[in-house]
Amino acid sequence: MSSPKDSQAASIIDIVKQAKNVLSQNSLDDLVIPAQGLYPHRVLWDSCFAAIGLSHYDVKKAQLQINSFLEAQWSNGMIPHIIFNPQPKYWWDRHIWRSKISPLSKHAIATSGITQPPMFAEAVVRIGERLNESQRNSWYEQIFSRLVAYHSWLYSERNPEGRGLITLIHPWETGLDNTPPWLVSLRHHHAPWWINMITWLKLDKVADHFRFDARYVDPSERSTTYEALRLYDALRKIRRNKYDSKKIMPKSTFAIEDIVFNSIFIRANSLLKEIAAIINQELPEELLKNIALTETNFKEFWDKEDDKYYSRNQKYGNFLKEDSIGSLMPLYSGVISESRAKQLYERLINKDDFNTPYPLPSVPISSPWFKPMRYWQGPSWININWLLIDGLKRYGFIEEARILSNKSIAMVRDNGFYEYFNPQSGEPAGVVNFSWTAALIIDLVSQMHPELID
């Protein structure tokens, strides 16, 4: 007779098997897309998360996800957030961005003209951990100068005041597209007359029927049409400036020092330093100076009035005080003090704040913005859980990290590999068979039960 322990092991083996299937179904020539249908193109942080999952059982395929993005790196060092599917039927998606208009883009590879949270260094190191010493060194040597170029680009193009805090120019760069602090900025965005007309005439409900994403998911679980049109208009404005950040930033409504992006960047910088040390390489002096500045000035994200971390408007210096999961992300950065980390941990376990039955909500339940099924305005996302589990561990909150891992695995086991989940009921939402959900579940399982992963 099998014991409860055996059946738990069987169900864990089964979930890993299913997760591997999701990743293989979402592979086109071994390159992983976020999901069939809704997301046919490759996306930067999605590919990094996919690589982290793949590294446990197919290191070569994991490396391919990273290398293929490096092939698309622009000559100024930027790694674009989308590499478009070359199939003829996607010509319109490629045409919307027209990356070729920038002399800095790789003309043979159609990409977007903006970036996304810099998860690259983390994925490179996680792959490195799965290699023997000499393979790992040659992997790091192969990647090193490209990674340095990417981090240096963020400082040279997105650091207008030289304080080392990175400024984003479009909500898509945060990865948390319609998170409340960015939504407020989106509302201030000066939209053209035709978008305003659609809004005044309340035609957005009609437009819902023509939305591409509505073919795959319920529009009530996504950005509204009104938001989507403004996001599109913001893209037109940066495209008009050929994706030249220095031209775009002074005019942009979106010039935001984003807390999520900067927290991830700080961690990426420490990992880059580790990579350099392992292969006995020096980082450029200018880059080291900037890295130190980011660490020192990160404290500017702390609002003494509310005792919270917030993103900041780069032009006016004000905090974007709408609460969101971004406020906890400094736990992942690793540079905040232990007492600050404890304050964030307290929020994470507080039932009126972020502690829901199916954690972690992307907006605290006490917030007037909270909508449990709408995209980044409430649902739980596995990549956010993964980042915070990692941060919790590094600050010594081992038990909480274990609980959050178990709850994340159970949420996916019971509901499927969805894009996001209702944090109160666990009900799945968004698109099904989503790659980063699958990949990061493989990683979480392997951290908790290494003996069950082959």
Alpha helices by DSSP H, 241-258: 245-248
DSSP state, 363? S
382 binds ligand GLC (CB under 6 A): no
β-pair partners for 82:
43
> Closest distance between ligand GLC and the C-beta of residue 449, in Å?
27
332 binds ligand GLC (CB under 6 A): no
> Closest distance between ligand GLC and the C-beta of residue 223, in Å?
9
Alpha helices by DSSP H, 280-397: 285-297, 330-333, 338-348, 382-394
Q: Which of 177, 213, 257, 443 binds ligand GLC (CB under 6 A)?
A: 177
User: Which one, 61 or 81, has the nearer CB to ligand GLC?
Assistant: 81
Task: Write the binding mask 134 to 153 for ligand GLC: x where contact by CB under 6 A, - elsewhere.
Answer: --------------------
What's phi and psi for 323, nearest 5 deg?
A: -75, 145
Q: Which of 19, 26, 32, 46 binds ligand GLC (CB under 6 A)?
A: 46
432 binds ligand GLC (CB under 6 A): no
User: Which one, 175 or 378, has the nearer CB to ligand GLC?
Assistant: 175
- Residue 385: how many CB atoms within 10 A of its CB? 22
> Closest distance between ligand GLC and the C-beta of residue 374, in Å?
12
> Closest distance between ligand GLC and the C-beta of residue 43, in Å?
4
> Closest distance between ligand GLC and the C-beta of residue 392, in Å?
22
CA distance 320 to 314: 10
> Which residue in the shown chain puts its C-beta closest to ligand GLC?
34
Q: Which residues of 176-185 are buried (b: 16+ CB within 10 A; e: fewer)?
A: bbbbbbbbeb
Q: Which of 23, 32, 43, 341 binds ligand GLC (CB under 6 A)?
A: 43
34 binds ligand GLC (CB under 6 A): yes
Residue 175: exposed, middle, or buried by beta-carbon count in 10 A (0-12, 13-18, 19+)?
buried
CA distance 125 to 108: 29
Q: Which stretch binds ligand GLC (CB under 6 A): 41-49, 71-79, 84-92, 200-208?
A: 41-49
Cα distances (angstroms) measured from residue 134 to each of 59, 126, 131: 15, 15, 8
> Closest distance between ligand GLC and the C-beta of residue 140, in Å?
26
Q: Which stretch binds ligand GLC (CB under 6 A): 6-14, 40-48, 238-246, 285-293?
A: 40-48
The candidate with the shortest Cα–Cα distance to 120, out of 139, 100, 147, 138, is: 147
**Half-sphere CA count of 364, side-chain side, radius 13 A:** 21
45 binds ligand GLC (CB under 6 A): yes
Q: Which of 175, 219, 359, 372 binds ligand GLC (CB under 6 A)?
A: 175
> Closest distance between ligand GLC and the C-beta of residue 45, in Å?
6
CA distance 296 to 273: 17
Q: Which stretch binds ligand GLC (CB under 6 A): 39-47, 49-57, 263-271, 303-311?
A: 39-47
CA distance 222 to 71: 31
CA distance 144 to 140: 6
Task: Write the binding mask 339 to 378 for ligand GLC: x where contact by CB under 6 A, - elsewhere.
Answer: ----------------------------------------
User: Which one, 283 or 328, has the nearer CB to ligand GLC?
Assistant: 328
| Helices and strands (DSSP H and E) totals, the chain | 18, 11
Q: How many chain residues bind ligand GLC (CB under 6 A)?
A: 7
Binding residues for ligand GLC, rule: CB under 6 A, are 34, 39, 43, 45-46, 175, 177
